[in-house]
Amino acid sequence: MLDIKELRKNATEIERKLKNKVPETSLSLILAKDEKIRQLKTQVEEYKSKRNSASKEIGLKKQKNEDVSDFMGDLTRLSDSITQIDLQITQMEADLLNELASLPNIPMDDVPISPSPKDNVCIKEWGEKRKFDFPFKNHMELNEKLHLFDFERAAKLSGSGWPVYINMGARLEWALINYMLDTHRKNGFIQVIPPLLVRPEIMFGSAHLPKFESQLFKVRDEDFQLYLIPTSEAALNGLHYDEMIAEEALPLKYTAYTPCFRREAGAAGSQERGLIRTHQFNKVEMFCLTDPQDSPRIYEEMLASAEEVLQGLGIHYRNMLLTTGDMSFAAAKTVDIEVWLPGQNRYYEVSSVSNCTDFQARRAQIRFRKKNEKPQFVHTLNGSGLATSRLMVALLENNQQSDGSVLVPKVLQRYLEDEITHISPTKT
């Protein structure tokens, strides 16, 4: 959430930057409501001062046995006015909070200005697209003989868009997860296993509510009001909800594996069958809380850790600096790491590393205090490290062999029993 004090001071400049992200953004109504609230607060404080003075005067008159009936009537009317204004302020502050919560984060100055993802800027490439000397297959075609996933039985269980991993598919998925966690722990991240369901205020703190309510799965009954996490970012941000973190504890660098749950609007296209787009997917997340002055350095560390995973797997990728119009709601700067999927003939994102500055911290009230200074909000940063579903597709499609088998990258072999080097077609 943005700082209302900054909006007052720099309304024109902030509105200009926000329009680069959401063109219809306007601050006029928010600032008008904020001004009205401040006027009402000034008025109510004047009334309260008058009430205090009147109460003292009534007390003195009572000591002198003087008639105070007229004064009591005025005091009652003054108290009624104060109550009404306080109620009005409370309602207006709630409305203002909702309107502030609808504003996106301010893009950083080095973010390309464009409404279109077509203008995202490639800032790095690693490796090369694989050249095949045989007719290659997409992951769904490979699966017909490898039997790694069972989408038909998954649909019987939960409907379309839910995967079931079978035998070597499950083992390879687990190997990927453990390899990624080991990589991030080596790079200084603390592993966390968070709950998969969180309270509404935790989702608000991470900026998934109220904007993305329709994309979330939820549990609603007489005992629970909870949301399934769309990413462990929501839970990791909530770990320090309403806390004052010791300066010497920063930066806090977390990594977590969780399943993630998201409603996907509309039907997936023909190229997005199988694991490309699902309601449930596995992801290893990186999440950091830091002193604002250190957030650029932590950002590069997170990006490097995600890239290390892909380099270890030997998968070609590119880093794309996202435009203002393609960034997420909470992000001030984002780099997407995209892998080449031969079966889809295009790049797909497997990691999105974002600096959210103090946007989430202000919503979640996560602060720290430097010596002899006022408390300030931390910066939060998040990054996929990585999402396994599309990564699995990249691994299968880019490592397929002419006999229909798939080469297992060396970094994953030690996580598999007997250090399996290839996944070969099976009869079942």
The β-bridge partners of 394 are none
pLDDT surpasses 60 at 329: yes
- Say what the pLDDT of residue 212 is: 93
Q: What are the C-alpha distances in Å from 177 to residues 180, 285, 399?
A: 5, 10, 18
How far apart (Å, rounded) are the C-alpha atoms in residues 245 and 247? Answer: 6
Q: What is the pLDDT of residues 158-177, one digit of tens each?
A: 999 899 999 999 999 999 99
Domains recognised in the chain with CATH numbers: 28-101 (1.10.287.40), 117-423 (3.30.930.10)
Query: Helix 168-186 to helix 139-146 angle, to the nearest 10 degrees?
Result: 120
Q: What are the C-alpha distances in Å from 193 to residues 186, 232, 239, 302, 351?
A: 17, 9, 11, 19, 20
Q: What are the C-alpha distances in Å from 367 to residues 363, 373, 375?
A: 11, 12, 6
pLDDT tier, 426 (very low <50, low <70, confident <90, very high otherwise) = confident
3-state DSSP assignment of residue 343: coil
- Say what the pLDDT of residue 265 is: 53
How confident is the model over 322-327, as a mean pLDDT? 97
pLDDT tier, 76 (very low <50, low <70, confident <90, very high otherwise) = confident
How far apart (Å, rounded) are the C-alpha atoms in residues 206 and 264? Answer: 20
193: left (phi over 0), alpha (psi -120 to 50) or beta: beta
pLDDT surpasses 80 at 65: no
How far apart (Å, rounded) are the C-alpha atoms in residues 282 and 2? Answer: 31
Rg (CA), the chain: 28
- Say what the pLDDT of residue 13 is: 97
Residues composing the chain: 428
How confident is the model over 99-126, as a mean pLDDT? 97
- Say what the pLDDT of residue 268 is: 47
Q: What is the pLDDT of residues 254-303, one digit of tens each?
A: 999 999 999 975 444 445 678 998 999 999 999 999 999 999 999 999 99
pLDDT surpasses 50 at 142: yes
How far apart (Å, rounded) are the C-alpha atoms in residues 428 and 425? Answer: 9
Instruction: Name residues whose C-beta falls within 8 Å of residue 31's C-beta, 6 or more positions apart in sequence.
Output: 7, 8, 11
pLDDT tier, 330 (very low <50, low <70, confident <90, very high otherwise) = very high
Weakest-pLDDT range from 227-236, 268-277, 315-324: 268-277
pLDDT surpasses 60 at 53: yes
Q: What is the pLDDT of residues 40-49, one digit of tens each?
A: 999 999 999 9
Q: What is the pLDDT of residues 354-382, one digit of tens each?
A: 999 999 999 999 999 998 899 999 999 99
| CA neighbours closer than 13 Å in the CB half-sphere of residue 288 | 31
- Other C-beta atoms lying within 10 Å of the C-beta of residue 263: 12
pLDDT surpasses 90 at 395: yes
Backbone angles phi, psi at 272, to 5 degrees: -110, 35
3-state DSSP assignment of residue 32: helix
pLDDT tier, 38 (very low <50, low <70, confident <90, very high otherwise) = very high
Which residue type, as a one-letter code, is found at position 135? P
Single pTM value for the model: 0.92
- Say what the pLDDT of residue 280 is: 94
User: Is the torsion defined by CA of 149, 154, 155, 156 positive or negative?
Assistant: positive
